[in-house]
Amino acid sequence: MDKIATYALRLGDDSLILGQRLGEWCGHAPALEVDLSLANVALDQVGQATHFLNLAGEIEGEGRDGDALAFRRDVMDFTNCLLVEQPNGDFAQTIARQFLFSHYQALLFEQMTAAKDTRFAAIAAKAAKEVAYHATLASDWVIRLGDGTEESKARMIAGFDWMWRFADELFLMDDVDVAAIAAGAGVDKAALRAAWDARIDTVLAEATLARPAPRRATTGGRAGRHSEHLGHLLSDMQFLQRAYPGATW
């Protein structure tokens, strides 16, 4: 797969895996409104994944569509960041993951809306409006849990304590990003970091939470080096196509 196709694949994989993770909350969330919210966010992510994975298949030009890429690849072929594959944990851990990721995705899509490559710009313009809701939802809950009870605060801190190590990977750049930027499709992710830090810090301050201490970043997702969790997620997500290859309805 060429670099521009890989760039679309990475965007699709991030959304797909997060959408699948969030779907695990369906019917299990702490309140009906939260259940609806997480399912809606999951749906948006899967929708975005459909567009980006279809685009990746189209650029690749070997007849694979979004479904083929989602359901007929093995774990080491997935290029999502490690953050999105992390288990849901408790509700606070899910919110910590969503908060870090949605603010990154919001900034990314805001920039990509201006991309010269209209295929990327069109998906980004549509997704940016959806992701703005996700970032607001996650921020509201970070504040509510962080500035809540002793218990909710402790859980929010624990959630960030786990998820924080995966944040740096979001902004890492490699030859795929450089090629995508040169082709007018990609965004300089490293340049988004300052704005992301500012948005995160503003919400953390309102939530009366301290910024987690810097730690060595855990990376490798873009190169297919994943945590043990992704394989389990795929065994669930891909079950039908593995058991009944080519099944449709």
| Residues in touch with another protein (CB under 8 A) | 19, 33, 36-37, 39-41, 43-48, 50-51, 118, 121-123, 125-127, 129-130, 132-133, 136-137
Indicate the residue among 45 and 94 with the shorter CB distance to another protein: 45
Shortest CB 139 distance to another protein, Å:
10
Alpha-carbon span 161 to 51, nearest angstrom: 33
| Token representation of residue 173 | 């750049």
**Residue 87: CB atoms within 10 Å:** 14
Give the angle 188-191-192 at the CA atoms, nearest 5°. Answer: 95
Nearest approach in angstroms of CB 149 to another protein is: 21
- Burial class of 248 by CB neighbour count within 10 A (0 to 12, 13 to 18, 19+): exposed
* Nearest distance in Å: CB 67, another protein: 13
CA nearest 146: which of 88, 209, 211, 210? Answer: 209
DSSP SS3 for 223: helix
Residue closer to another protein, measured from CB, 38 or 82: 38
Least separation, in Å, of the C-beta of 121 and another protein?
7
DSSP per-residue letters across 132-178: HHHHHHHHHHHHHHHTS-HHHHHHHHHHHHHHGGGSGGGG---HHHH
- Token pair of 177 as six digits: 């990003």
Please identify, using beta-carbon distances, which residue of 10 and 51 lies nearer to another protein.
51
47 vs 87 by CB, closer to another protein: 47
Smallest distance from another protein to CB 158, Å: 25
Tell me the closest approach of the beta carbon of residue 35 to another protein, in angstroms.
9
Q: Which is nearer to another protein, 133 or 162 (CB)?
A: 133
Q: How far apart are CA 24 and CA 229, in angstroms?
A: 14
Query: Can you tell me whether residue 30 is helix, strand or coil?
Result: coil
Shortest distance in whole angstroms from residue 132 CB to another protein = 6
Q: Return the number of the residue (12 or 186) whose C-beta is nearest another protein.
A: 12
Specify the residue, 78 or 120, whose C-beta has the smaller distance to another protein. Answer: 120
Q: Name the burial class of residue 240, with classes exposed (0-12), middle (13-18) and buried (19+) by CB atoms within 10 angstroms of its CB.
A: exposed
